[in-house]
Amino acid sequence: MLRADEELTRSVEKEMAMEEKRYARYLRGRKTALLTCSLETNTTLSPMYFTHCTPGKKMEDELAATTGASLQVFSFKIAEIKAGLQWPLYVYGVVAARDKVDYNRNLLFNRTRDDAQLVTLDDPFLRLIGPARGILPDPDFEVELRVKGRTKYRDRALINDRHPYIGSFHYDGLYTVPFWNCLCRCELSTELLGKSVQATILGVRIVKGTFRYGGRVAFSSPSHQVAIVDSQGAIQEVIDPMSTMVVLLDSHYCHGGEMPMSSDDYLDLTRRVVSVELRESHFLYPEKLEETFKVVIQVYSKCGDITAQGHVKAVKLTPKLSNISQTVCYLGDSVVEIIVAWSVHVEEKVFL
């Protein structure tokens, strides 16, 4: 008679084999539809395609421009592990989106075995690197993740799955795209923006001062701000919840805990492209837009926490359909310059 753990192992192996077959069938169907490229082809369409267009000028004939809906991706979390898996995990593989623009992979996470990420119970989030351009409805999300073992022979599949995102059902706030199997449960946190453009953060440069103990740079939308009130109902503080921030760079996850920086003091951001909602500031003046682009810069103290008041600052910008914006953020004695390129989305790429 098989022991309980042996029965569990066989059951897991059987279910994972079935999952891999299902995913392989999906890939074969996707490959058949992709007549011009392979499954591994990544999108090369620039998020700044219309940045330098003259306002009012007709866009290129072969590419349709849109300020319609797009998808914001906040995080990917390994929320639970099962069937004998134990924390921590060394995870590698791919998380990607495919949309109607070109049907190529828009990478959100991409690591090889040699660069596997340490994922712990206390910090179960993957370090996202994308998207490379705005994601349009309704994409397929593909997840191919493996767990690194002591040897390559002992590596094992964690999850192979895809999830179609039906955006028309999720216009009401945040939405979690679920992935699960017998080994784990994962959550992709997203938000569908009804009218938007894409912003590419071209540069975050330290003009004056230093981030001696590191820091964090993140994008946030003012619409997600939360007010903290006292017992009398008076507002004490307005904060940006981490769950609704797109982390562009966090030195906690960089080598030595230092901010990666070029010789000319530009920070090496992990993510650069975000979708920004277009909101009219007044119904009588629809051409005037709200400042819905917000960059939050936080400086860490020696112990790794956010430092005192004056070292957490935010700057806001009004989104544009094209062109480039430049602004400055003051953090105590430090000065940080931020440069952003704006572009409407490419709605569909026509293959000639």
| Residue 310: predicted pLDDT | 44
Q: What's the pLDDT score for residue 62?
A: 46
The pLDDT tens digits along the chain (352 residues) read: 335 566 668 889 999 999 999 999 999 888 877 766 788 899 999 999 999 986 655 555 446 888 999 999 999 999 999 998 999 999 999 999 999 998 999 999 999 999 999 999 999 999 999 999 999 999 999 999 999 999 999 999 999 999 999 765 555 578 999 999 999 999 999 999 989 999 999 999 999 988 888 999 999 988 787 767 667 777 766 778 888 999 999 999 998 888 999 989 999 999 999 999 999 876 555 568 999 999 999 988 877 666 544 467 889 999 999 999 999 999 888 899 999 999 999 988 764 3
pLDDT given at position 2: 39
- For the entire predicted model, the pTM comes to 0.92
pLDDT of residue 178: 95
Please give, one letter per residue, the 3-state secondary structure of the chain.
CCCHHHHHHHHHHHHHHHHHHHHHHHHHHHHHHCCCCCCCCECCCCCCCCCCCCCCCCCCCCEEEECCCEEEEEEEEEEEECCCCCCCEEEEEEEEEECCCCCCEEEEEEECHHHCEEECCCCCECCCCCCCCCECCCCEEEEEEEECCCCHHHCEEEEEEEEECCHHHCCCCEEEEEEECCCEEEEEEEEEECCEEEEEEEEEEEEECCCCCCEEEEEECHHHCEEEECCCCCEEEEECCHHHEEEEEEHHHCHHHCCCECCCCEECCCCCEEEEECCECCCCCCCCECCCEEEEEEEECCCCCECCCCCEEEEEECCCCCCEEEEEEEECCEEEEEEEEEECEEEEECCC
Two domains, one topology: 4-33+69-193 and 196-349: yes
pLDDT score, position 142: 97
- Per-residue pLDDT, 1: 33
CATH topology of domain 196-349: Immunoglobulin-like (2.60.40)
pLDDT number for residue 37: 72
Which amino acid is located at 29 in the chain? G
Q: Estimate to the nearest angstrom the gap between the alpha carbon of 108 and the chain centroid.
A: 6
> How far is Cα of residue 48 from the mean position of the Cα atoms in its chain?
17
Where does 4-33+69-193 sit in CATH, by number?
2.60.40
Domain-by-domain residue ranges, the chain? 4-33+69-193, 196-349
Q: Give the C-alpha separation, 176 to 218, whole Å.
A: 20
Q: Is the peptide bond before 222 cis (omega within 30 degrees of 0)?
A: no
Q: According to the model, what pLDDT value does residue 308 have? A: 45
